[in-house]
Amino acid sequence: MSYIPEAGKLRGLSYETASLYGMPHLGASYARDDVDSNRLEPGARCICCGKIARNSHHEPPKSKGRNFLLVTEWGQFVLKPALIALCGSGTAGCHGRRHMRRWTVRWEWDSDEYAEKWWNGYWLSHGYAPNSHKLFRLGHYVFEFDKGEKEVRL
């Protein structure tokens, strides 16, 4: 894929960071409108190793911003970080390894057309809510570990 929005749309963030706001949750969700209100889904497993998940990780991390305002021709959309169910804590397990930057995650659109429609607000104004699993119809996650990659499509 080669579509990347103009720098102004990224609001000072890198494309890699901005592109994770609003993407689907994996094994977790927000309990309320507050980004600190996350909860695990029943039976959630760590997306990295498959162990029972103990908490969720914000991707991008909250330190990058608690939300992202996407301003488009279709309207303005407040996007929250995706939540990813992980084992361990912020200092142990796969969650700890993420905080130590031992693995990374990115969202890949299945086509440049899909990416452009996201950044222009089309999908958000046509039934694809932020953080919805419905977005998996348009793209997927790629997790990069020391020993290779793992694609996640639902």
**Residue 1 belongs to a domain:** no
How far from the centroid of its chain's Cα atoms is residue 116's Cα? 17
Alpha-carbon distance 133 to 114, whole Å?
15
The total number of structural domains in the chain stands at: 1
Record the pTM: 0.94
Host domain of residue 42: 7-152
Q: What is the pLDDT of residues 11-56, one digit of tens each?
A: 999 999 999 999 999 999 999 988 999 999 999 999 999 999 999 9
Domain assignment of residue 81, yes or no:
yes
Q: Apex CA 70: angle with CA 112 and CA 68, to 5°?
A: 115
